[in-house]
Chains A and B, each alone.
Chain A
Amino acid sequence: MHEQDLGESLTEQVRAAAAAGTPLRIAGGDSKAFHGRQVDAGCTSLCVAGHTGVVAYEPTELAITLRAGTPLAEVEALLSEQGQQLPFEPPAFGPGATIGGAVASGLAGPRRPFAGAVRDAVLGVQLINGRGERLDFGGRVMKNVAGYDVSRLMAGAQGTLGVLLEVSLKVLPSPQGELTLVQEVSASQALERMIRWSRQALPITGLCHTDGRLYVRLGGGEQTLAETRQQLGGEALGPGPSFWADLKEQRLPFFGQPGPLWRLSLPPATPLQDECLLDWGGAQRWVIGDLAADELRERVARAGGHATLFRHHDGRGEVFHPLPAPLLALHRRVKQALDPQRLFNPGRLYAEL
């Protein structure tokens, strides 16, 4: 793996930007440039992709510390050599994806409901704040409650609170074996099964319904897989292109339909309303089409969830679900605390931030 420490140079660039008051557009591999709003005009690019390498990895400690520009694919390969994996199964959305981008975007794959979100795996970060200070938060150990949890705050902040230089993540052993079962059922039957199975302690690591089929991924030892298969039923999915990788990377035929792609995040048992692809055991639903944004958002919020305009939009309107006024005011003050000059990715998350 290519190792290169650009920490000093990146810190200098942030200090120069702070002195000049020039906002920065932070980029790793730029594989998720489509995600979120367009940053404000007039930003200079700050490229973190060259800041690469493994700072520490001790497999039996279940923790890895990486420079933020380290390619995600290399991280996954390294972990895989040790029989381990990132719990949150991040989508890459392109060959250049970096670990820093995976944390900043906060996106997780099909294993999310069963193994936790990006923020759940974050143990610590090193970041540059808007004053050009290089700071360490959290650590490399599982349990740590010293100081406010600034590290987890970085997950999903879209780079608007600081430039990630290093991330320490919890890793998990990969299951001994995996098996995917397929059942031909309607969406409503699928949701009913997802809810029922999620209430039992089963070795499930993926639950998706699309195109009239329910996909169940199991992980564990041979005997465990055999017994669970017997209990749940269904045909085993044969070898070939991986359904789960295609789901995570949005390469399934569903995602090829024309129109804006909406991500609905809902309490998993929310009754079905839209024609959708069900992932995360019902908690993440993908909908495609020119929907009335306000009406959709209101409906999803009433059910206890939120809606994100994920792909195929101009990046100028609201992408992430609008916040209630007092919460937005608090967001502004939090932004101010970390990035007082509004240098980092201005406008990417919300126009005001």
Chain B
Amino acid sequence: MSAQPATTSISPARRQELIRALGGVLPPAALLTEAEELRPYECDGLSAYRHLPMLVVLPETLEQAQAVLRICREQQVPVVTRGAGTGLSGGALPLAHGVLMGMARFNRILGIDPDNRCARVQPGVRNLAISEAAASHGLYYAPDPSSQIACSIGGNVAENSGGVHCLKYGLTVHNVLAVELLTIEGEQITLGSRALDAPGYDLLAVINGSEGMLGVITEVTVKLLPRPERAQALLAAFDDIETAGAAVARIIGAGIIPAGLEMMDNPAIRAAEAFVHAGYPVEAAAILLCELDGTNAEVSEQVMVVRRLLLDCGAREVRTASDDAERARFWAGRKAAFPAVGRISPDYYCMDGTIPRRHLGPVLRRIAEMEQEYGLRVANVFHAGDGNLHPLILFDANNPGELERAEAFGGRILELCVEMGGTVTGEHGVGIEKLDQMCVQFAPAELQQFHALKAAFDPDGLLNPGKAVPTLHRCAEFGAMHVHGGQLPHPELPRF
């Protein structure tokens, strides 16, 4: 049942045959074969994992992409699709025996339809470029992953990317109306439409977050939203992090859905302040950033309520941005949090678990205990509104064993998220990185169901094989090392 890569190695003769076949359908500049040309494609944003791909193809037209897929299928060679390469879970990690298909040359905005509030774009278009192109119509594309100046919309769909405005405006899946997809057979399929729904199964929902395992996205129609009349930001400082967490629950309990609701802990505050001088209270145990948007009247009404709630909850200080410049300053520290942490530590490892928000206190306490256990420090950045936690584990890869320790620490954090009723990935995807933790979150029958669904799209297992969903064999081996809750997770499987 489970879709496995058809091959794991390839002979020089077959490689030559493949190059000949691809050379027949691609212009010379779209086929890279030499090691120095392949080097830039050896990793994505998760740079701890690297392989040279066997070949790189950079198709410019639908017909070329179709021809590449047909040849790869015929020769049973795996294909890894890559967008801008900013992914954080190794989803675009190449295979030594596979073709890496870069979609960067599909970079045109095909049309903006302001009356139907949508934009038709090629997958290599950058996230931010869509909002820039729609701005003259007073519209924008809502999901804003932190890499939005660089990441491309095809990759956003493949990963179901989030951002800081998900609580109110949703993830990528909530903001995509349609995709054009090439199957591994090279057949073109449209999922979704410019209407609000489409007949049949909601396969569009399945494509979002499918990590390039089901098809190759060649066009995306995104939903555009009217730019809110006004946005206002508040910054609240707290003496302890659990009080800050309680304040989040109070705001939402009061019936207010902020456009953004972000929390940073003290190490993150200090790192950000040292980097961008946003004027953050560096003594605070936690800060909350709350952005409200809507009509002028809506924002005025809500700012009053939120300010009072924050003070009632025990915030020691609440600032309201007096103008857009101050609002931008409030956000500057948050948006620069990752590079800021990069300045205080030679390396950091960004985790991406989600928990029911009410467990924030216990989870952060356990993470603090683990810091002692692993001898590594953590700075926490938190999409507080939707429970998505980004612990940044600080380490130095030049110290032998620290990378491995950081990875083990990260794995434990994700398992803790599952234990608390959450998930191992909120927005970065599983990729190559969290395969082991998928064994903790899902039972074998559920993983088998995922494999069966993949096989419905890709029967030979040629599209990005080995990512996102672990084999049961891998889970059995991982389970042998990890006894979970006093029970072996997969007692029915043989142990090796």
Contacts and interface: CB of A to CB of B under 8 A. Distances in A.
A167 interface: no
Contact of A284 (B196, B200, B256): B196
A153 B205 contact: yes
B364 to A, nearest CB: 16
B430 interface: yes
A320 B199 contact: yes
Interface string B311-343: 000000000000000000000000000000000
A61 B115 contact: no
B198 A152 contact: no
Nearest to A307: B199
B199 A321 contact: yes
Nearest to B205: A152
A58 B453 CA distance: 32
B206 A152 contact: yes
Contact of B297 (A117, A143, A172, A221): A221
B433 to A, nearest CB: 12
A317 B113 CA distance: 35
B197 interface: yes
Interface in B85-128: 113-118
A320 B198 CA distance: 10
A283 B170 contact: no
A172 B197 CA distance: 21
Interface string B201-221: 111011011100010000000
Interface string A181-218: 00000000000000100111111000000000000000
A322 B198 CA distance: 11
Contacts, number: 276
A142 B387 contact: yes
A334 B387 contact: no
Q: How large is the interface on A (under 10, 10 to 19, 20 to 34, 35 or more residues)?
A: 35 or more
Contact of B425 (A144, A203, A320, A337): A144
Interface string B393-429: 0000000000000000000000000000111111111
A125 to B, nearest CB: 11
A112 B196 CA distance: 9
A299 interface: no
Interface residues of B, number: 100
B377 interface: no
A153 B200 contact: no
B114 A199 contact: yes
A333 B173 CA distance: 23
A174 B255 contact: yes
B176 to A, nearest CB: 11
Contacts of A349: 200
25 contacts: A120-B174, A139-B421, A139-B423, A140-B421, A141-B355, A143-B354, A145-B160, A145-B425, A146-B424, A147-B468, A150-B206, A150-B453, A174-B255, A201-B225, A201-B293, A220-B294, A220-B297, A221-B301, A224-B301, A305-B195, A320-B199, A322-B199, A323-B199, A326-B189, A334-B201
Interface of A: 58-63, 83, 106, 112-113, 116-117, 119-120, 129, 133, 135-137, 139-150, 152-153, 155-157, 161, 172-174, 176, 195, 198-203, 220-224, 226-228, 265-269, 280, 283-284, 304-306, 308, 320-324, 326-328, 330-331, 333-334, 336-338, 349-350
Interface of B: 113-118, 137-139, 159-160, 162, 166-167, 170-171, 173-174, 183, 187-191, 193-203, 205-206, 208-210, 214, 225-229, 249-250, 252-253, 255-257, 293-298, 300-302, 354-358, 383, 385-388, 421-430, 434, 438, 441-443, 445-447, 449-450, 452-457, 468-469
